[in-house]
Amino acid sequence: MNFLEERILRDGIVKEGNVLKVDSFLNHQMDISLFEQMGEEFKKRFAGKEINKIVTIEASGIGIACVVAKYFNVPVVFAKKSKSINIEGDMYVAEVESFTHKCKNQVIVSKKFLSPEDKVLIIDDFLANGCALQGLISIITEAGASVEGIGIAIEKGFQMGGRLIRNLGYQLESLAIVDSMNADTKEIVFREQ
């Protein structure tokens, strides 16, 4: 069991409807030392990859991405969520469905900050059905940049996002993959890695 799985068992809260609350250390209150451990681990898992930019999506991906970026010595670009239909022409746009909020958002990145020279590591806190991730991949691909890898803190292994992304051939590294959880017994089962 790794440091993140241990932390999830200690401080994560399983709720009805396959909800895993990790807001005391990951996505509302944020434990920076934990993010540093994640940075070290991602650096190992993506060793040998030539990465010159990290891309994430607002809001809860930003903190992890900025701490992880120190280990790769690269800048971070975060995709912004926007409800407006009138996007200036200098933006890459993707449509993203939110599982949590049950709505559609546009996700935008300025064309200034992604180009064919960019070798991107995508970082995010959660992967469930993968909609946000697909939006990011679509934007990065449209820019002519390459997705060198994807680093996720927690993957819900019982939803289809992870399998889909791996089937597409991407190197997707999730530090903790939850295969099942039970709101009654509070049990969380992680996938062996």
Alpha-carbon gap, residue 175 to 187, rounded angstroms: 18
Size of the site for its own copies (CB under 8 A): 29
133 vs 165 by CB, closer to its own copies: 133
One-letter amino acid for residue 135 of the chain? G
Alpha-carbon gap, residue 164 to 95, rounded angstroms: 18
Q: Is 32 in the site for its own copies (CB under 8 A)?
A: yes
Q: Is the peptide bond prior to 59 cis by the omega test (within 30 degrees of 0)?
A: yes
The correct pick among 70, 104, 163, 186 for binding its own copies (CB under 8 A) is 70
The correct pick among 110, 115, 180, 182 for binding its own copies (CB under 8 A) is 110
Single out the residue of 30, 33, 46 nearest to residue 123, CA to CA: 46
Site for its own copies in 162-181 (CB under 8 A): none
Alpha-carbon gap, residue 102 to 87, rounded angstroms: 22
Q: Is 30 in the site for its own copies (CB under 8 A)?
A: yes
The correct pick among 42, 46, 78, 92 for binding its own copies (CB under 8 A) is 78
Helix, strand, or coil (residue 90): coil
One-letter amino acid for residue 161 of the chain? G
Q: Is 190 in the site for its own copies (CB under 8 A)?
A: no
Residues in contact with its own copies by CB under 8 A are 23-25, 28-32, 35-36, 58-59, 62-63, 65-67, 69-70, 74-78, 80, 109-110, 112-113
